[in-house]
Structure 1
């Protein structure tokens, strides 16, 4: 069972003062968070791509590369790369470069992206949303498999027997499919034999179990060995010394972000009752003390089949020292509990 962190490198207003830290400061803080995550024994750190004022990481590979030479073991991944509006050749080159700097610890999580700012920014039509992803994923996987590439499509100039460099340390460079729970994306990942990442940020996580089974059936029917296909989840959460403190610190900045996004997307107000329901044992928020968060992750593994869990922290801007403490607790207290229990449980199966 792998345990890690994901972040969007948020620069939202401080809920107490209204102040907004600079993109530069937040980027430097995230590098420190990645280094700490490595030091406390976490397995993976993911940085999500966005192109808006309140998230600073438009280039996950650069952020991860800044931490690569300061870390030794932790895997470094996008979470996600918005492949639909990117050039797959450049994506592959960036992450192959990261793979070299980190000596084989880079990964790509490819997704459509639930934020659409990158489409007009890079000149793409949202009416081509699905077609763009399908075509660009095909090119990315072609690049993954071969040094010399011949490829043609509708939305990008053709490539005629050209080499793509540098080559990664890992062969192949890992490519995951990110999904918010769309049935077709889950089936596609299974048929392609690609690892799957599920964004479980609402509802009851156990409701994702049928999707995991659908993914495994699609993979098996396509001839892939499902025992070799990891399945990850990413969920919002926060850890503190006690559960009440964790909830009281995490709710205000989370509410602020959820209400901003709610206005953009037509959601209702996000209130404390909704938050408290989501942090209940069957809910999708992993907020509490180390023991409670560990028990929720164990429950997810046993009932859904997730083999990698990524805690997304924070959602809205929080004091850097609070985020660092949460990462420390996840690595030193939560992860050992989870690994020990899952190892014992699997030995009994």
Structure 2
């Protein structure tokens, strides 16, 4: 069971002070946070791609490369790369470069993107949303699997038997599919035999169990070894010294961020009642003391079959010191509890719930 962190590198106004951190300062903080995650034994760190004022990371590979030189063990991934509006050749080259710099710790998490600012920025039509992703994923996988590539599609100039460099340390370079729970994307990942990441940020995580089964069924029907296909989840949360302290520290930035996105997408206002309901044992927020958060992750593993867990921390803008302490608690107290319980459970051959 792998435990890690994901971030969108937000630069939203601090709910307490009203101050908005600069992009440059937040990027430097993120590198410090990745270094701390490596020091405390976390397995993976993911940086998301966005192209708007309130997010600082438009190029995850560059951010992760800055951290690669200062870390030793932690895996470094995008979360996600908006492949539909990018060039697969450059994506592959960037992450192959990161793989070399990190000694074989790079991963790509490819997604269609729930934020669409990159499409007009790079000149793509949203009417081609699905077709763009399918075509570019096909090319990315060809680049990953062969040094010389011939390929032709509709949305990018053809490639005629050209080599693409550098080549990564890992063969093959890991490519995951990020999904918000769309059945078609889950089936696609299974048919291709690619690892799956589910964004579980609302409702009840247990509702995602049928999607995991659908993914594994599609993979098995396509002839892939299901036992070798990991499934990850990405959920908002925060770890504090006590459940009460964690809840109070995480709520202001969560409410502010959710209400900004909610206004854009027509969601109702995000209230304390909504927040507290999501913190419940069956909710999608992983907020609390180390035991509370560990127990919820273990429950997710047993009921849904997740083998890698990303805690999205922070959501919005929180004090850097609080985030660093949350990372420390996740690595030194939550992760060991989860790993020990899952190892015990699997050794005993206990069935999934």
Total equivalences in the alignment: 349
Tell me the TM-score normalised to structure 2 length: 0.99
Which stretches of structure 1, 4 residues or more, deviate above 4 A after TM superposition? none
Q: 2:262 & 2:312 partners in 1: Cα distance?
A: 19
Q: 2:309 & 2:3 partners in 1: Cα distance?
A: 5
Q: 2:96 & 2:37 partners in 1: Cα distance?
A: 22
Matches for 1:65-84 after TM superposition, within 5 Å: 65-84=65-84
Matches for 1:177-196 after TM superposition, within 5 Å: 177-196=177-196
Q: Deviations over 1:43-65 (max 9, x none)?
A: 00000000000000000000000
Q: What corresponds to 2:176 in structure 1?
A: 176
Q: What corresponds to 2:130 in structure 1?
A: 130
- CA displacement at 1:324 relative to structure 2: 0.3
Q: Deviations over 1:20-55 (max 9, x none)?
A: 010000000000000000000000000000000000
Q: 2:259 & 2:288 partners in 1: Cα distance?
A: 22
Q: What corresponds to 1:151 in structure 2?
A: 151
Q: Deviations over 1:273-306 (max 9, x none)?
A: 0000000000000000000000000000000000
Q: What corresponds to 2:217 in structure 1?
A: 217
Q: Deviations over 1:46-95 (max 9, x none)?
A: 00000000000000000000000110000000000000000000000000
Q: What corresponds to 2:267 in structure 1?
A: 267
Q: What is the Cα-based RMSD across aligned positions, in Å?
A: 0.4
Matches for 1:1-349 after TM superposition, within 5 Å: 1-349=1-349
Q: 1:107 & 1:81 partners in 2: Cα distance?
A: 10
- CA displacement at 1:267 relative to structure 2: 0.4
Q: Deviations over 1:132-156 (max 9, x none)?
A: 0000000000101100000000000
Runs of 5+ in structure 1 lacking a partner? none
Q: 2:80 & 2:119 partners in 1: Cα distance?
A: 15
Q: Deviations over 1:310-332 (max 9, x none)?
A: 00001110000000000000000
Q: Secondary structure of 1:166's partner?
A: coil
Tell me the TM-score normalised to structure 1 length: 1.00
Q: Secondary structure of 2:197's partner?
A: strand
Q: Secondary structure of 2:161's partner?
A: strand
- CA displacement at 1:179 relative to structure 2: 0.1
Q: 1:114 & 1:173 partners in 2: Cα distance?
A: 24
- CA displacement at 1:16 relative to structure 2: 1.3
Q: Deviations over 1:102-150 (max 9, x none)?
A: 0000000000010000000000000000000000000000101100000
Q: 2:253 & 2:152 partners in 1: Cα distance?
A: 45
- CA displacement at 1:264 relative to structure 2: 0.5
- CA displacement at 1:348 relative to structure 2: 1.2
